[in-house]
């Protein structure tokens, strides 16, 4: 069951456009399990292909940074997001009013 859910999470995450982010909670909802945001975090931590599944674009519900397994962790995640034009409210918190992927 976990593998099936992870595959759904990865399928949705592949569609997150450059320059936008999504929260773990919204990603869980889009993958069909609204309460499974921690499982989304596990899926992102086990991302099998960071080149096609942009796990760096997944952030906390308040825009905060949570884990990143590539490079230097959160520092690398922030650098990648800034390179894509993501706006930050604070050094470690994305401005969701500007950068949230609005698909609803």
State the catalytic residues.
55
Residues in contact with 25: Cβ distance below 8 Å, sequence separation at least 6, in sequence order: 34, 37, 40, 61
CA atoms within a 13 Å half-sphere pointing along the CA-CB vector of 88 = 16
Can you tell me whether residue 91 is helix, strand or coil?
coil
CB 47 within 8 A of CB 55: yes
- Planar angle of CA 22, 9, 7, nearest 5 degrees: 160
């Amino acid at each position: 069951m976990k593998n099936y859910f992870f595959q759904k999470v990865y399928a949705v995450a592949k569609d997150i456009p450059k320059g936008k982010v999504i929260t773990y909670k919204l990603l869980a909802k889009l993958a069909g399990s609204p309460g499974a945001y921690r499982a989304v975090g596990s899926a992102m931590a086990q991302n099998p292909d960071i080149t096609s599944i942009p796990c760096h674009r997944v952030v906390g519900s308040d825009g905060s940074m949570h884990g990143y397994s590539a490079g230097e962790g959160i520092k690398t995640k922030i650098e990648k997001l800034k390179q894509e034009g993501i706006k930050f409210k604070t050094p470690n918190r994305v401005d969701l009013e500007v950068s949230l992927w609005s698909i609803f």
